[in-house]
Structure 1
Amino acid sequence: MEPITIDVTQNTPYGLQKIDSSISFGKFIDFLENKINQEETVKKTFFSLVLERLKANPAFESEIELSEVSLYKEELSLIYGMLMPPIADEKDVFWAMSAPLSPIVFYGTSGFYSLVTDDCTGDLRCDLIEDQAANFKQKTKMLYSFILERLYHFPPFYHNDMIITLKDDVSGLQKYYRLNIDNRFCDVYAKGSLPELDLDSIRADLQESFDVNTFTTLLPHSLFRFEGFSIITLTDVTAEHAVENIKNTILDRASYDSKTYFNFVAGALKMVVENARIDFGLMAVLRVNNKLVFDRSSMLFSKLMSAATENDMAEETYLNMANHYFQAPKPLLMRNLGAEDEHKQDFIRILKNDGVESYALLPVYYDNKVVGVLEVYSKEQKAIDERVLAKLDVALPLIAQIMKNYIDEFNMEIDNVIRDKFTSLQPAVQWRFRETAWHYLRDKSLDPQSAAIENIHFRDVFPLYGAIDIRNSTIERNSALRDDLQLQFNLLIETFTFLKQKLGFGLADEMIYKCKKWISQISDDSTDNDEMKVRDFLENEAHPFLQHFKEDSLQQAVFGHGTPDPAEKLLIENINKYFEVIDEHRGAAFANRRALEASMQKINSSVNLYLDLFRKEIQQSYPCYFEKFRTDGIEYDIYIGQSIEPEKKFSELYLKNIRLWQLTSMAAIARITHSLIPQMGKPLETTQLIFIHSSSIDISFRDDERRFDVEGAYNIRYQVIKKRIDKVHIKGTGERLTQPGKIALVYFNSKSAEEYVGYVRYLQEKNTLKDDLEFLDLEELQGVSGLKALRISVNLDSEWN
């Protein structure tokens, strides 16, 4: 321990070290006196001896000039002994004292000085200061959090999350340290009267971000004087940071090519094991029809496979080794390959020939299934041992995710080939695709360079469009979300309130404030973005807050009296109760959303089932193309015409027949969904819409979307109208055309309407539809005018077949 003064931010342009501060140990002495009064164990004697030594020199209780700190080496050593475990080795501890809220260090462990200073010159290491602007913002945030907390009783908003980076002298790898600044032995005093502040406005600003300029304008630090001392602790978080790097790399996989992606992961693993001379390889377990396969592209980053490839033995080596290894996978460690018998396994000889001296294989599990192996190797003997492998434990779950992603990508490629080359098409149009495929193969055999796939299109087909929509699905979804969140936040407030009462933890007040603010913001107009913000608050603030106190209570029980005391037990029960309520599958805070999703699923499943039967029926009279689309409800397109079935003569009788079938099916669907209401946890209704298009159109197959779409400028108008009529209003009324229990039929041509009126009269005679047919004019839509509609109620209750 040495009283050496260094300025951690020397030569930087931000100058936070210029705050009006003085070194004082009075607050620590007060702290020690309180501890003596409260302590009843043998510690009290020790504390008293330390206090006596500190007070033996009256000058130590006064303000001390920075230049005179070295005169109190014994006193500073005693303070260190009080604040750090007595068995701690100061060479391994990065701990120091500084002027209050200032980067000027005046006393620290040899480990601290060795870490932040140059061994030759004793100056601050040049690679310590990197992002000066970010550091300045963090330190300013700490300063004003301290001022507001001490003088305005404002909850602290600085959370010691500053990270500094240094290159390790031994490994040459970058290392990361979390900088913690403990200001509990500091005081702040206003030089004059305290400025009046709008704390609610400050709280609102902090919800968005911390604006340095706002605080330096409202509260210039020149208005305050600081006394005491701060404690600086650096904690090595390299492994934690490396794991975070791997996680971010996985999330951003699309931004990297395979080699860069692997290099990022391997570089992070080197940081975890703290050795640049150790390298890594990945081998995912790929199977086709449950048989292991060798995929050269996924083995590029395996040391063993790359070495075997040079001898044209990669596939044989892999399959022989993998089939044996994966029968009973377990860690394999060879610290010195030179001492291994290469006749036992071919892979040992292959690795030796490639210069590998030490090698290990670790099986990687995902959901308790082996998804691959992680290779660990070095060209140095005995570089790998059990301690190195143990360090990798923290990264193995993410390596498992990488392996799982490789496997999913491989299986997806297989599925894509199947879809691309072997997708079964609807029988009505399959003949056209077979014909096109044959023409391509024929042309390719004659001239491979000019062979191309023909456009697949069908001319002069008649379209039929229908839509079954769940009424007010967005409103219902937002309402369910709002009701669930109100229940969750009310319980969360109760839990935080209980925590505040039992522990007296002031920060719980801020969490209660935030919860109440969220309750006031939740409304029927909530958007997905609002939901994401709420989720972010719960997962990243509220839940970690509760988990901390739950784990802290359990830890105190384990290391203290063995079982939680009644207060701790009650606290744990309250927190557990909250997490039970928010369980997505069983908890009350998801009840409304579960009920809504179950109701929507019940409707869509029933409608899907009926439409599948409907599709089979209409194919019996004349082949047609039928395609469904899933929205909040279900939409479908039907195309019928001579070009779809050239071998069978088309007649408009088939078109009329399918139109009648469509109207009948919509009435049946209205009845089916209405009958489901008593079975639904969240009652929902559907609306039924048909678009009548009297003339034929042309459709073509779109390769990019693997579906049929309209073709030509005039035909596209049909598509535009179809997409805009779902929310159309009746002209001059503001009333939505589509209504529950009714079928709406939109049209342009009066002749088409007359045809459907005939179908309506027929279904009224059969007691399927009610006697309330309406003829309606519709409001103008963007680029569409002159739309009309028929609307008829379905007889939902009477008996009909």
Structure 2
Amino acid sequence: MHTEVLNINKDDCFLCQVDTCLSFNPFVEHLKERVQTEKTLKSEFYRYVLDKFEKDTCIDLNMHPEDAEKYREMLELIYSILTPPILNEKEFFWALSTPVPEKIFFSTDAFFDFHSSHHSGLHAVNMSQGELFSQRQKRFIYNLILERLYGFSTVSKNELLFAYSDPGTGLSRYYNIQTSTQFVNIKLVGDLPEINFDIIEPYINNYEGIDVLEDILPLSNFKFEGFTVITLTDITLPHAIESIRNELVNHSNNETDQYDLIIDSLKTLSENPAIEFGLLPFLTVNDKLIFDTNECSQSVLISSAKEFNLAEETFYAITNDYKLNPKPVFFRSLTDEKISKHPFLNVLKQAGIKSYGIFPVYYNKEIAGIMEVYSYQEIVFYEKLLSKLQAAIPLVAQLLQNSIDQFTFRIETIIKDKFTSLQPSVQWKFNEVAWNYLRKSNRKKKNQEIETIVFEDVYPLFGAVDIRNSTIERNSALQEDLKSLLTIIMETLTVLKKHIHLTLTDRMIYKCEEWLEKVNGFITTNDELMLDGFLQDEVNPFLDHFRKNYPNEKEVIDRYFDSLSEENGLSYTNRRNLEASMQLINTSINHYLEQAQEEVQGSYPCYFEKFRTDGVEYDIYIGQSIAPEKMFDVLYLKNIRLWQLKSMAEIARLAYGLTDQLSRPLQTTQLIFIHSNPIDISFRNDERRFDVEGAYNIRYEVVKKRIDKVLIAGTIERLTQPGKIAMVYFNQTEAAEYMEYIKYLQEENILLDDLEQLELEELQGVTGLKALRVGVNYEIALEK
């Protein structure tokens, strides 16, 4: 044990801000209590120590740290009382200090040696940046005063975390220094000041504001008596684990810095400066591993493979094989024999590495990547090293999974930014393009253009389900609502006329009658705007005046203003009913198509895109280029064409079955455009949708847009009719194929036996169109 004085403040220029007295009195008081309460054999020892203190005159003296050697016997008794007998003082970091920790006057050999050799290299980790030792001490003093005399518990604890760079290993070590104030008494000089805790609370743990407390609680009012007990604990390993955990939780660094920090923590855990670590997340694009990202730069295998030109195909084969059969692999030395069996080791040997090992890292039972352990000298990978790393492995797994998630998010962000929400059938293509774009960006090539997504030689299918006469229905609903509105206005004005005698009221009623007559006929958009102007500029201000100034008339006028609400007003009833009916039909059709799409995709992957109109339109594209991994055959095209015809019949029956639920009766028409030749489609980044490529292919789009209102040649009859499916085509071969499907569905009692073959009128730029039209059997729906 040592009685030499050690200054806690390494600058050795500190003046304590409060009156202190180094004394054994608080310890003696503690012994007296323990003698009274202790029931074991310890009580005899306590009584012996107490007797020694009471007979010694030092109990009544104010000690000086420099006089500690005079009281060595008493100090050793204190050590014996406060520490477990089994501890070795040459290994246990323990010391006694002044009441406000300033000078250490008694310490174990371990503590004394540590302080003497490491003190200048220690630096506080958990002290606020810029906080001086004097401010830290003052915070210690006020925390103790507030806790003992006011019962105010503070957040700050009497402990400090110190870091030290070991010059022998170059690795950081961390120590927790805790100060016990059990044997410190606070004596009050004068009266205890009253304080407002709401005022002082902001300053307690803020070192910059701690001086403010001196105006409220002057330190001259207090005296500290006794001594403090200081213990120092090496927490290097748990701190390394905690550092990894904090970095994962707080995300205070970018990915590269985060990897560097966590690798440093792993080196600290290993406690061996010769051991290095690498981390490699298994990032994939379309289930294929890729290794061209910042995260992969943390792997010594990847960096060595790039530096020494390991063939990319060889490297991918190695890593893919390892992913299929992951297991720990150790190479204590990289000999020629081992390199002949595992050629990838050659690039590591060229990089100067002499020992190499791989640990597979799992996240939720799925492999997330690998942790590399390597060295530039031959070492033995002891099981002790594995046990030290064991607690860190789940955190490393979280890091690797975070990288996987962030990489996936970046790919998805590029897709959403450059493209749109995508279906699984074509997602693979967008993944590849996004990855190529991201890889070029990683290589810092400026002004990169993202390549165009193109699918060549795909067969198109187009279908449209339309609400019959939707424009006429909208105009009719509008007219009925406007009639209702004008009627309410006239009724309101007529009631007001009985109580308020104004000639202007008669004129207002006259203008409403004029508008009612106009609304009964054909109403244009301009008429609608003019009527709205009449309401806003004349009717509303007129009625609002009387509502505010004639309380008796408020109720009847409120009826008019209530009718103007789009959500529940009477003057919007018919339009609401129409929109609700249309929405019910469209929602039901959309739901049907969403479910049916699973069946379609199950046979062969295809792109299925829906568009909202007054009804629902959709495009389907199917072909080899959409699913290059699966062989395409025309039988898949025939299968989806039969599905399309059958689904149109089911949609027609579905809409017909909703009739009783519709607040406004509506009917649907069903249209299919048959196009036998394959086309090319590309994704238009500006419109976030697929469009056709090439002049010939554009003709397909032109026809598609013009056939919805086409007439039968020589008539004024529309091709599309409720209860029927219309199929538009150019050549007889297309018709023959669909006639087979129609015959089959007629035998299944899904379609009626009323097939029509029709010539269609010439459209602008389009001639030679023909159509098949067949009725849908509604009876089968009614039977169900």
One-letter identity of the residue aligned with 2:408: N
| Alignment-mate amino acid for residue 215 of structure 2 | T
Please name the residue that 2:709 is paired with.
Answer: none
202, 225, 244: which one aligns with 2:223: 225
- The gaps in structure 2 that reach 5 residues or longer are 424-445, 451-461, 481-523, 527-543, 549-557, 582-660, 666-784
1:390 aligns with 2:387: yes
Specify the code of the residue in structure 2 equivalent to 1:372.
G
The one-letter amino acid of 1:228's match is G
- Distance change in 2, residues 1:45/1:267 (3 Å): same
- The 1-side partners of 2:318 and 2:525 are apart by 67
Question: For residue 5 of structure 1, what is the aligned residue in structure 2?
Answer: 5
Equivalence for 2:71: 72
Max Rg structure: 2
1:369-384 aligned at under 5 Å gives the runs: 369-382=366-379, 384=381
How far apart are 1:13 and its partner, in Å? 6.7
In 2, are the aligned partners of 1:141 and 1:210 still within 8 Å (CA)? no
Change (3 A) 1:105 1:451: closer
1:602-636 per-residue CA deviation (whole Å, 9 max, x = no partner) reads xxxxxxxxxxxxxx9997369xxxxxxxxxxxxxx
Quick one: distance in 1 between partners of 2:337 and 2:235?
37
User: Structure 1-normalised TM-score?
Assistant: 0.51
1:125 matched to 2:124: no
Amino acid at match of 1:71: K
In the alignment, the residues of structure 2 paired with residue 325 and residue 239 of structure 1 have an alpha-carbon distance, to the nearest angstrom, of: 31
2:136 pairs with 1:111: no
- Report the AA paired with residue 572 of structure 2: V
Q: How far off is 1:157 after superposition?
A: 4.3
Map residues 104-253 of structure 1 onto 2, 5 A cutoff. Answer: 104-118=103-117, 124-125=119-120, 127-128=122-123, 133=131, 135-199=133-197, 201-203=199-201, 211-247=209-245, 249-250=247-248
- Residue 302 (structure 1) shift: 0.9
Query: What is the SS of the residue equivalent to 1:166?
Result: strand
Partners of 1:86 and 1:345 lie apart in 2 by: 56
Give the counterpart of 1:361 among 358, 375, 388: 358
Counterpart AA for 1:620:
D
Residue 103 and residue 293 in structure 1: after superposition, are their counterparts in 2 closer, same or farther (change >3 A)? same
- What is the rounded CA distance, in whole Å, between the counterparts of 1:86 and 1:730 in structure 2? 96
**In the alignment, what sits opposite 2:399?**
402
CA contact (8 A) 1:359 1:376 kept: yes
1:109 positional shift: 1.9
CA distance in 1, matches of 2:447, 2:41: 94
User: How far is the alpha carbon of 1:419 from its aligned partner?
Assistant: 4.3
1:42-70 CA-to-partner distances (Å, cap 9, x unmatched) read 33334344444444533255332222111
Q: 2:304 aligns with which of 299, 304, 307?
A: 307
Question: How many angstroms does 1:235 deviate by?
Answer: 2.4
Q: Cα offset for 1:346?
A: 2.9
Would you say the 8 A contact 1:26–1:61 is kept in 2? Answer: yes
Counterpart in 2 of 1:272? Answer: 269
Shift of 1:100: 0.4
Aligned mates of 2:94, 2:394 — CA distance in 1: 33
1:145–1:157 Cα contact (<8 Å) kept: no
Residue 694 and residue 369 in structure 1: after superposition, are their counterparts in 2 closer, same or farther (change >3 A)?
Answer: farther
Structure 1 residue 230, shift from structure 2 partner: 0.3
1:31 aligns with 2:30: yes
Give 1:285 shift: 1.8
Q: 1:49 and 1:654, CA in 2 relative to 1: closer, same or farther beyond 3 A? A: same
Aligned to 1:352: 349
**Shift of residue 292 of structure 1?**
4.1
Give me the whole-angstrom Cα distance separating, in 2, the residues matched to 1:141 and 1:105: 19
Q: Does 1:86 align with 2:81?
A: no
Q: Would you say the 8 A contact 2:359–2:370 is kept in 1?
A: yes
**What letter matches 2:89 in structure 1?**
E
d(CA) in 2 for partners of 1:663 and 1:237? 82
The corresponding residue for 1:574 is none
Do structure 1's residue 744 and structure 2's residue 739 form an aligned pair? Answer: no
* Structure 1 gap segments, 5+ residues each: 427-448, 454-615, 623-652, 665-692, 696-728, 747-755, 770-796
Q: Find out whether 1:415 has 2:412 as its counterpart.
A: yes
Amino acid at match of 1:11: D
The alignment's C-alpha RMSD in Å is 4.8
Aligned to 1:45: 44
Residue identity matched to 2:120 = R
Decide which moves more: 347-356 or 66-75.
347-356
SS in 2 for 1:380: coil
Contact 2:278–2:300 (CA under 8 A) maintained in structure 1: yes
What is the CA–CA distance in structure 1 between the aligned matches of 2:372 and 2:579, rounded to whole Å? 74
Q: Quote the Cα distance in structure 2 between the aligned partners of 1:663 and 1:29.
A: 100
What CA distance in whole angstroms lies between the structure 2 residues aligned with 1:349 and 1:451?
36
Query: Alpha-carbon deviations, 1:446-478, whole Å to 9, x = none?
Result: xxx99999xxxxxxxxxxxxxxxxxxxxxxxxx
**CA 335–51 in structure 1, closer or farther in 2 if over 3 Å, else same:** farther
Residues in 1 aligned to 2:306 and 2:546: alpha-carbon distance in whole angstroms: 74
> What is the aligned-residue identity percentage?
30
TM-score, L = length of structure 2: 0.52
Residue 96 of structure 2 aligns with which residue? 97
In 2, the alpha carbon distance for the partners of 1:293 and 1:451 equals 20
The correspondence for 1:620, drawn from 463, 466, 469, is 466
Equivalent residue number for residue 284 of structure 1: 281
Say if 1:363 and 1:372, in contact at 8 Å, map to a contact too: yes
Q: Give 3-state SS (helix, strand or coil) of 2:11's partner.
A: coil
CA change 1:134–1:361 in 2 (3 A) is farther
Partner AA of 2:359 in structure 1: L
* Distance (Å, rounded) in 2 between the aligned partners of 1:96 and 1:45: 25
Distance 1:99 1:236 in 2: 23
Q: Do the aligned residues in 1 keep the contact of 2:19 with 2:222 (CA within 8 Å)? A: yes
| Rounded Cα–Cα distance in structure 2 between residues aligned with 1:283 and 1:204 | 45
User: Could you tell me which amino acid in structure 2 is paired with residue 385 of structure 1?
Assistant: Y
AA matched with 2:23? S
SS at match of 1:117: helix
Q: Is residue 135–residue 210 contact of structure 2 (8 Å, CA) maintained in 1?
A: yes
Q: In the TM superposition, what is the alpha-carbon distance from 1:396 to its structure 2 partner?
A: 2.5
The structure-2 alpha-carbon separation of the partners of 1:408 and 1:74, relative to structure 1 and needing over 3 Å to count, comes to: same
Kindly state the Cα deviation for residue 338 of structure 1 after the two structures are TM-superposed.
5.6
SS at match of 1:149: helix
Asked whether the equivalents of residues 191 and 223 of structure 1 are also in contact (C-alpha less than 8 Å), the reply is yes
Q: CA shift at 1:159, angstroms?
A: 1.8
Query: Which stretch of structure 1 is more off in the superposition, 366-375 or 40-49?
Result: 40-49
Shift of 1:373: 1.1
> What CA distance in whole angstroms lies between the structure 2 residues aligned with 1:205 and 1:103?
23
Provide closer, same or farther for how the CA distance between residues 315 and 248 of structure 1 changes in structure 2, counting only shifts above 3 A.
farther
